Amino acid sequence: MRRAISAQWVNLGMHLVSMVFGLFGLILVLPNTAFIESLSEAGLQVFSWGMQNGGASYMIFGAIAAFLYGKQTIGLKRTLAFCIPAIGISVTSELLGTSTGFPFGAYSYLSGLGYKIAGLVPFTIPLSWFYMGFSAFLVAATVMRFGTGFIPRISAIALGALMLTSWDFVLDPAMSQTPYPFWEWHQAGEFYGMPYQNFVGWMGTGAVFMTVASLIWGKANQPILNRQQILFPTIMYAGNFMFALLLSFNAGFYVPAMLGIVVGALPLAVLYFTTPKGELETSESATASVNIPVVAVDTSKVETIATR
C-alpha cells in the first residue's frame, strides 16, 4: 500500500515540476534569444530536448499519477471504467475534429506534444482528457453526498464537464494564439480566435465519457469521496489550471482567464472546502462484502455452563 501511495504522489510531483519547467521555457527562455544564444552545446541539447519532449512528458506523468491514485482510492475496476471511455471517446472526438471540424471546429495540432495518432492527434492529448476529466469529475461527484438519485448524478456530470471545459477557456488561447503555439485554428473564432463551437464540443465530449463511466459504475457504486480523498484530484486540477492561467495572463488574455476562474477554480474551491472530512470511503475495498464464517454453537452446553 505504501508503495502505491508513494508512486502516485511521485508521479504527480513530476507532473507539476514538468509544468513549472514548461512555464519557465515558454515565458522566460523562448522570448529571450540572447539567453538561448549564450547556451553551451550541452545546454542547447537539453533545451532542444525539453522543447521536443517536455509537453509530452508532463501529460504522461499526469496520466500515470491519476491512474495510480484511482486504483488506490476507488479501485482498479472503477478506474478502468473511467479511463477507457475517457481516452476512447476523447481520441475519437479529436480525430473527428482534426479531420472534419466536428465537434470542436477546424483546427490542427503542431509539434511539441508527441507522436500523432493517424498523423493528426498527439497521443498525449487523450491522456490529458483522462486525468483532467477524472480529477474534475471526482471532485464534482462530492455533490452526490446529498443523494444518489438521477438529479444528483446528472448534476455531478454537468458540473464535472463544466469544470473540464473551464480549463480550456484558459488554456486554449494561450496554447494557440501565442508566438509559440501547439495547435492552430483554421477558421475565424469569435472568442479570442476560437469558435464557440469548441466549448460545446468540450462540454459534450466530457459529459459523454463521464456519463458512460457513471453508468458502468452503477447507481449504488458511485465514488463519493471525503475531503482527504479528493485532495489529490484537487491538486491535479489546480496545478493544470494555474499552468494555463499563468500562460494566459502572460499573453494578455484576461477575459478567458477570469471566466475560467469563475466556472472552474471557484467551484473547485467551494467543493473541496465544503466536502466533509469524515465521509466513509466508497472504494472497492471498502464496499466489498466481508465473508464472516458462521460457527455452530451447542446451546445446551452454553446453558449448562451458565447455570454453574
d(CA 62, CA 166): 19
Can you give the pLDDT at residue 149?
79
In a domain, 34, yes or no: no
In a domain, 186, yes or no: yes
Query: pTM of this prediction?
Result: 0.87
Residues of the chain with pLDDT under 50: 1, 280, 282-308
Burial of 92: CB neighbours in 10 Å, binned 0-12, 13-18, 19+: middle
182 secondary structure, DSSP code: S
In a domain, 195, yes or no: yes
d(CA 28, CA 36): 10
Can you give the pLDDT at residue 284?
42
* Closest-CA residue to 203 (of 236, 247, 159, 235): 159
Contact (CB, 8 A) for 210 and 133: yes
Residue 282 grid cell = 466508497
| CA dihedral of residues 191, 209, 217, 147 (deg, nearest 10) | 20
**Tally of structural domains, the chain:** 1
Can you give the pLDDT at residue 299?
42
Contact (CB, 8 A) for 183 and 108: yes
Can you give the pLDDT at residue 28?
81
* Closest-CA residue to 146 (of 222, 234, 228): 222
Can you give the pLDDT at residue 45?
75
In a domain, 99, yes or no: yes
Residue 268 belongs to what domain range?
66-286
What's the number of CA atoms in the CB half-sphere (13 Å) around residue 16?
17
Sign of CA dihedral 97, 100, 106, 110: positive
Amino acid sitting at position 127: L
In a domain, 123, yes or no: yes
In a domain, 206, yes or no: yes
Can you give the pLDDT at residue 3?
55
Residue 184: in which H helix or E strand, if any?
strand 183-185
In a domain, 197, yes or no: yes
Residue 115 grid cell = 507522436
Q: What is 105-164 written as a DSSP string?
A: -SEEE-SSS-PEETTTEETHHHHHHHHHHHHHHHHHGGGGGG--SHHHHHHHHHHHHHHH
Helices 231-251 and 41-73: angle between axes, nearest 10 degrees:
140
In a domain, 50, yes or no: no
